[in-house]
Structure 1
Amino acid sequence: MKGKRLLALAAAVLAGSALAATPAGKTADVAKGKQIAEQVCAACHGADGNSVASANPTLAGQHPAYLYAQLQAFKAGVRKNPIMMGMAAPLSEDDMRNVAAYFGSQSVKPREASDKSQMDLGRQIYRSGNPLTRVPACMACHGPAGKGIPVQFPRLGSQHAAYVLKQLNDFKAGTERKNQTMAEIASRMSDAEMKAVAEYISGLR
């Protein structure tokens, strides 16, 4: 029962924040977003949003509303990453909206899990969770193929496993990222479960 309440809370909190981050009546300019991506973002995330460095997330194909909300969070200092806070600081609302739309329009390059020995446990956690520790299935919010639910939950499929693992640890520690729902879920996951599900997510497409 508590697990169901947790999922309901996740839907309400994340849906509300993402919807609020998308101003009504605003149309993004993808061409201008491409210029910003090439000048500001490409060194870490790739010109098309397909990062080659495992420490930097792939942004291609991500929901624009989610990307826009994260840029707002970095600019406001809610997400505390010194590099991204500095990158987001000079961006206007239109800049953030445009670059989010550009990356969202790009095709994500499929990735394979680097450690196939983690697949069984990762699949179990992602698809079924862990009833004993009240960890809900990841796919309840992020979808069976890791595509997320537009506006509400981010795309995870084909993301770098190392990046996913770091985010789970950050949620658990409450350091760089603060999200009550994800912090509660991550706090119930073992190190082995987090590593395994990160590897499984990396191979989703």
Structure 2
Amino acid sequence: MKFKTLLALSTALAAGSALAAAPAPKADPAKGKVIVEQVCAACHGVDGNSVASTNPTLAGQSQSYLLQQLHNFKDGKRKDPIMMGMVAPLSDQDMANLAAYFSEQKVKPRDATDKTQLALGKEIYRVGVASTKVPACMSCHGPAGKGLPEKYPRLGSQHAAYIVKQLHDYKLGEMRSNAIMADIAKRMSDAEMKAVAEYISGLR
């Protein structure tokens, strides 16, 4: 009896592990492009390079990060009325296709719009702020802002205004949630956020 119980338990655990490890849908960038042209291009550009500073550039972003963000919008873990509406009708396959397409696009280099902020921004990004224990951004996002796929997103060549908005969202904890980023953002002043965002936008 004991053996049968253990066998049943081990079988259940194995089934659970198999389910948890189920592969994501095989992505098709070509099908993702069709959705982009019909839905996403107005805000993010056909090639993922956004023109408006309020909309993020998605080109060259990690496929896994993009897919996770789409799921977060759909599940309500990340809140934005426009994006939540956009992803509502998308299937898991659609989201996988979109993430694959945008990740394959080439990001267009961008320069800082306010070069007076670069000195402070560079210091924060590369060294951090010792007095408030803000860590160096590059420790996770890399010296060139290329991020670390599967872990940390690409930041280089992103709109400075968008980066500032995201830091404020982390700080308030209402639109998006991330314990590490929330703690860092709460230690930063508005001036520090603006400076580091300007520096990041020029990374490539």
Same topology, TM > 0.5: yes
Which residue is equivalent to 1:109? 108
Structure 2 counterpart SS, 1:119: helix
Which residue is equivalent to 1:192? 191
Poorly superposed stretches of 4+, deviation over 4 Å: none
Is the CA contact (8 Å cut-off) linking 1:22 and 1:65 kept in structure 2?
A: no
What is the CA RMSD across the aligned residues, in angstroms? Answer: 1.3
Give the CA deviation at 1:25: 5.8
Which residue is equivalent to 1:53? 52
Which residue is equivalent to 1:155? 154
| Structure 2 letter corresponding to 1:173 | L
- 1:2-21 map, 5 Å: none
Is the CA contact (8 Å cut-off) linking 2:25 and 2:92 kept in structure 1?
A: no
Which residue is equivalent to 2:99? 100
- 1:30-49 map, 5 Å: 30-49=29-48
Structure 2 counterpart SS, 1:132: helix
Q: CA–CA distance in 2 between the matches of 1:201 and 1:25?
A: 31
Structure 2 counterpart SS, 1:101: helix
- 1:135-154 map, 5 Å: 135-154=134-153
1:202 aligns with 2:201: yes
Structure 2 counterpart SS, 1:49: coil
Instruction: Point out where structure 2 has 5 or more consecutive residues left out of the alignment.
Output: 1-19
Which residue is equivalent to 1:90? 89
How many correspondences in the alignment? 185
Q: CA–CA distance in 1 between the matches of 2:94 and 2:21?
A: 13
Structure 1 counterpart SS, 2:193: helix
1:171–1:22 CA distance, 2 compared to 1 (3 A): farther
| Structure 2 letter corresponding to 1:91 | L
Give the CA deviation at 1:177: 1.1
Which residue is equivalent to 1:68? 67
Q: CA–CA distance in 2 between the matches of 1:195 and 1:22?
A: 40
Which residue is equivalent to 1:12? none
Q: CA–CA distance in 2 between the matches of 1:121 and 1:23?
A: 45
* TM-score, normalization by structure 1: 0.88
1:23–1:47 CA distance, 2 compared to 1 (3 A): farther
Give the greater-gyration-radius structure (CA): 2
1:93–1:22 CA distance, 2 compared to 1 (3 A): farther
1:69–1:25 CA distance, 2 compared to 1 (3 A): closer
Q: CA–CA distance in 2 between the matches of 1:170 and 1:25?
A: 29
Which residue is equivalent to 1:24? 23
* TM-score, normalization by structure 2: 0.88
| Structure 1 letter corresponding to 2:183 | E
Is the CA contact (8 Å cut-off) linking 1:22 and 1:68 kept in structure 2?
A: no
Q: CA–CA distance in 2 between the matches of 1:97 and 1:91?
A: 10
Q: CA–CA distance in 2 between the matches of 1:28 and 1:80?
A: 25
